[in-house]
Amino acid sequence: MARPVTLCTGQWADLKCEDLARKCQEFGFDGMELACWGDHFEVDRAMAEDDYCEKKRATLEKYDQQVHAISGHLVGQAVLDKIDIRHKAILPDYIWGDGDPDGVNQRAIEEMKQTARAAQRLDVPVVNGFTGSSIWHLLYSYPPIPPGMIDDGYKLLAERWNPILDVFGECGVRFALEVHPTEIAFDLITAERTLEALDNREEFGFNFDPSHLLWQGVDPVEFIRRFGDRIYHCHMKDAIVKLDGRNGILSSHLDFGDPRRGWDFRSLGRGGVNFEEIIRALNDVGYEGPLSVEWEDSGMDRDQGAREALEFVRRIEITPSGRAFDASFDKEEQA
């Protein structure tokens, strides 16, 4: 199975898109998952300029780079979140505006609709991203949380995301939520509840990323087997758990890269994710989309990480067998 191997560009947004495309060609990637920040893919320009997407495609093709998905994580986060000063750093100025929380939420909703239309113009089938969550801060049930407060979070999901997903449907584009802490879905149970809240509509699925499941103690392979028909995109990203008796799984208010943390992200193949079983599970559910390397390792040079990660994915990728190994024992199968 020759699935394309792409690079998620979000962690490289300090580089111009063309400069990164040149690097990706040198590294040997098949394509790029374009982040909707920096100059990698600008939704506002894609909608305002008739030739923007054509020019973007031409730039990528110049360096033999495909594009199968774009990433709208940052703006998507602001659709459901309770907005505060943290969001100013991740949002475009025209979405942040005056910072009024209701206004930010509404502008983020409209921008995600535009992102679907921009993806259609670029001729990509998937927008990866976040939904945000109005109830993430209620994760630990103290003071005791009335069930209705959690119910309200999923009702708000339906209220705000169904109109966005209507536009995705009109455009023939799917939204793939990266199941992730701080999102409305962060494990299997909340992913199931999210699908139920949205009436299991086909426009909504998942961007599978094992790194966010591993440190929670959630089995990434079980996620694939449960939601195989809803995995619209796949991130190849690693993490490691480093509990030492002093730290905890909640990370102690320490930044990524701090050696005292109880877990952290690692460059692909250097953490605790069992990618052998993940590849086999993806084959079992018939996933044929890209394997997108997402590099996040504060302790490693990113160029080294990108090269090494690409080699790792190429090495572990498996073409499924078209026959059982013991079929040759059957006399009818023998020459």
pLDDT at 333: 65
User: What predicted TM-score, i.e. pTM, was given to this entire model?
Assistant: 0.95
Q: CA angle, 54 as apex, 49 and 55 as ends, to 5°?
A: 85
Using the structure block, give the residue that is written with the tokens 């999923």: 154
Q: Which residues contact 161 (CB under 8 A, 6 or more apart)?
A: 79, 80, 131, 198, 204
What tens digit of pLDDT does each residue of 218-234 get? 999 999 999 999 999 99
CA distances in angstroms from 255 to 15, 264, 322, listed in the order given = 23, 9, 47
CA separation, residue 86 to residues 99, 294, 329 (Å)? 11, 23, 63
pLDDT at res. 2 = 83
pLDDT in tens, 65-117: 999 999 999 999 999 999 999 999 999 999 999 999 999 999 999 999 999 99
- What is the rounded (10 degree) CA torsion for 213, 218, 220, 221? 180
Beta-bridge partner residues of 238 = 266
Cα distances from 95 to residues 207, 269, 275, in angstroms, run 24, 37, 37
Q: What is the pLDDT of residues 117-153, one digit of tens each?
A: 999 999 999 999 999 999 999 999 999 999 999 999 9
Token duo for residue 126: 């998937």
pLDDT tens-digit profile of 144-154? 999 999 999 99
Domains in the chain with CATH codes: 5-242+249-324 (3.20.20.150)
Alpha-carbon span 44 to 58, nearest angstrom: 19
What type of residue sits at position 166?
D
Could you give the CA distance from residue 320 to residue 334 in angstroms, rounded to a whole number? 21
